[in-house]
Each structure stands twice: as structure tokens, then as C-alpha cells.
Amino acid sequence: MKERENSLEEQIEIIAKRFLEKSKKKEIQIISHFDTDGITSATIMIQTLKELDKRFSVKIVKNLEKEIIENLPKDKITLFLDLASGSIPYILDAKLKDVFIIDHHEIIHEIPKEINVINPELAQKQKISGSGLTYLFCKQIDKKNKKFAKLAILGMIGDFLEKEIGKLNNGIMNDGEIQKKRGLLIYPSTRPLNRTLEFCSDPYIPEVTGDIKGVLELLREAGLNPINGKYKSIIELNDEEMERLITAIMLRNPKSKTREILGDIYLIKFFNRL
């Protein structure tokens, strides 16, 4: 059966079973990408393999150079995360055995049957991050790995895919019990407004960013006053308060566009804190 003819879910199921069978007696080497998506992918995989009591090593790389692939041990299972879809010729030249690739980047070479690939390019071309794919793979291995869903969402947002949420990503959000709220895209949304605005650089707000007096003046104009000496955070604002704050910011920076400063805020709970 060829994975290219299957749905993404079927790809994951087939290759996860193959991976478990191959890894019974062999050590695993993980090679992952040095960005938010790659690091969260590696984290999900590391936790999964630890719970399976597997022997493994991890290498995080900025670019998957030919020399890196050539120097990989040949006697281990090689698991590439969030990269390697464009490195098939190098992998073949290096004569690596038992290669698994979990990636969402474009495939530009024919994939030989001896290389196991999970990639939406081979299915419905759904928009999903490498960490999302890694999560679905690990969840297929063991359903209790649902607890890593929030890491997959972090990777997705880090890869700027939050606007591409489809069926698969919605499922991951539900697994992670992620809350979503429409509001100002100013980080962090959980910190008191006066501090968030003072250190805000994206978007830059003239006479507010880096100026606490300007911050307090803007908040007064928006009718947002401290309660018991403390300002609300962005996620604590109601719809009316949010509109007043947006208006005050737009008046300070009329060149900015609403679509640039508004979006979905994802609320993820770590250690019982949002």
C-alpha cells in the first residue's frame, strides 16, 4: 500500500505502527528544526519516547546540510522533524536505513518506498505545522499523549499557521482545551495593561511605547482605570472595553490597520496559569 494514496490520518496510522515495530530493538536519533515549530516537535517526541522507555538522541539544526546527513550513524532509526522533505537525495546518498520524516514543507523529489514520510503534501495538502503532525503521530502511538496538544498549538502559532485552522488543527485545539478570544495582538495578553502597553513594540504606538506617562494617558482616554490599584489584562477586557482601547490606539497610530493589530488570542494553560 502506498502512503501517497492515503489520507493524512491513514499515513500517520500506517507509519506509526511501522515506527513502533522498527524501534523495538534500535536506538532512535531525532533531527529537528531550530525554530518554534521544530523545537516543540522535538519536545513532544522526546516526552513520548521517554514514556515508551526508548533509547534516543536529539540534534537541533538550523539547516539540514548534506554534511550533517552524511555524518549521521547508519545503524540507528533516523527521525526527521519539521525538515528533510527537500533532502531526499542526500538521505539516499548517505545510505541511511529506517528513515522517518514528519514534515509539512514542500516535497520536490520522488520519495522512494524505503523512506517513511508523513507530509500533508502527500494527502489533501492541509495546512498543519510540523508540531501538529508530530502530535498526531504521538497520539496515534498512545492516546494519553493528548496532554501534549498545547505544545502543538504553540508550534502552530510559532509557524504563523493560526489563520489556517482546519479540521485537523481544530481537533488538536479541542484536545488541548485551548481557549480562543478575539482581541488586540499585543503580547503578553495576561499582563496588566499598563505594563503590556509600555513594553509593546509590535505594534509600535507613538508616545505610548516606552513612555509610562503616555500609557496612563491613553488608558484614561479609553476609560480604563485601575481597580484596587491594578489594571486589567487584555484577556480580562469585555467587548466594550476592548473597542475603546482599540480606538485609542488607532488614534495614536492612524497608519496602522485594524487587521494588523486584531486577531485570535490563544489561551493555553501551563502549571494552572493561562
Q: What percentage of the chain reaches a pLDDT higher than 70? A: 90
- Mean pLDDT across 111-118: 94
pLDDT for residue 111: 92
Q: How far is CA 202 from CA 36, 199, 213, in A?
A: 19, 9, 19
pLDDT score of 142? 95
Last residue of some domain: 128, 146, 177? 177
Range with the poorest average pLDDT among 159-168, 171-180, 213-222, 223-232: 159-168
List strand residue ranges (DSSP E) for the chain, in order.
Answer: 28-33, 56-61, 77-81, 99-102, 115-118, 179-184, 262-267
Element spanning 62, H or E: none
Query: Rounded mean pLDDT of 38-66?
Result: 96
Domain identity same for 169 and 186: no
Q: Write out the three cell numbers for 218.
A: 491613553
Judgement on whether residues 125 and 20 belong to the same structural domain of the protein? yes
Compare 109 and 159 and report the one with higher pLDDT.
109
- Asked whether residue 114 falls in the same domain as residue 190, the answer is no
When divided into structural domains, the chain yields a total of: 2
Residue 94 lies in a domain: yes
The reply to whether 134 and 213 lie within a common domain is no
Q: Do residue 48 and residue 75 come from a single domain?
A: yes
CA pair distance 61, 67, nearest whole angstrom? 12
Read off the pLDDT of each residue in 33-54 and give the average, rounded to a whole number: 96
pLDDT at 208 over 50: yes
Q: For 134-149, what is each residue's pLDDT tens digit? A: 999 999 999 999 999 9
Q: Which domain holds residue 83?
A: 3-177
More confident residue, 173 or 5: 173
Boundary of a domain, candidates 151, 177, 203 = 177
CA angle 225, 227, 232 (to 5 degrees): 75
**Is position 272 within any domain?**
no
CATH of the domain at 172: 3.90.1640.30
Tell me the average pLDDT across 45-72.
96
**Per-residue confidence at 186, pLDDT binned at 50, 70, 90?**
confident
- The Cβ of residue 25 has, within 10 Å, a number of other Cβ atoms equal to 6
User: How many other CB atoms are found less than 10 A from the CB of residue 183?
Assistant: 19
Based on the fold, state whether residues 203 and 259 are members of the same structural domain: yes
Q: How far apart are CA 135 and CA 138, in angstroms?
A: 5
Half-sphere exposure of 211 (CA within 13 A, CB side): 11
Reduced to 3 states (helix: H, G, I; strand: E, B; else coil), residue 121 is helix
Mean pLDDT of 151-169: 69
Same domain, 102 and 209: no
Same domain, 162 and 31: yes
CA–CA gap between residue 10 and residue 18 (Å, rounded):
12
Distance CA 149, CA 156 (A): 11
Question: pLDDT averaged over the chain?
Answer: 88
The mean pLDDT value for 76-99 works out to: 96
Claim to verify: residue 83 and residue 187 sit in the same structural domain: no
Q: How high is the pLDDT of residue 75?
A: 92
pLDDT computed for residue 274 by the predictor? 64
Q: For residue 27, tell me if it sits in a domain.
A: yes
258 assigned to some structural domain: yes
Within a domain: residue 273?
no
25 lies in some domain: yes
Same domain? For 72 and 162 the reply is: yes
Same-domain pairing of 82 and 189: no
Residue 274 lies in a domain: no
158 in a domain, yes or no?
yes
Nearest CA to 35 among 161, 119, 144?
161
Gap between the Cα atoms of 265 and 145, Å rounded: 24
The C-alpha atoms of residue 16 and residue 29 are separated, in whole angstroms, by: 16
- Supply the pTM of this predicted model: 0.77
What pLDDT band is residue 47 in, cutting at 50, 70 and 90? very high
Residue 117: closest CA among 152, 73, 78, 149: 78
User: 159 and 23 share a domain?
Assistant: yes
The reported pLDDT for the residue numbered 28 is 98
State the pLDDT at residue 101: 98
Residue 273 in this model has a pLDDT that exceeds 80: no
* Rounded-to-integer distance, Cα 58 and Cα 102, Å: 15
Q: Which of 120, 147, 177 is the last residue of a domain?
A: 177
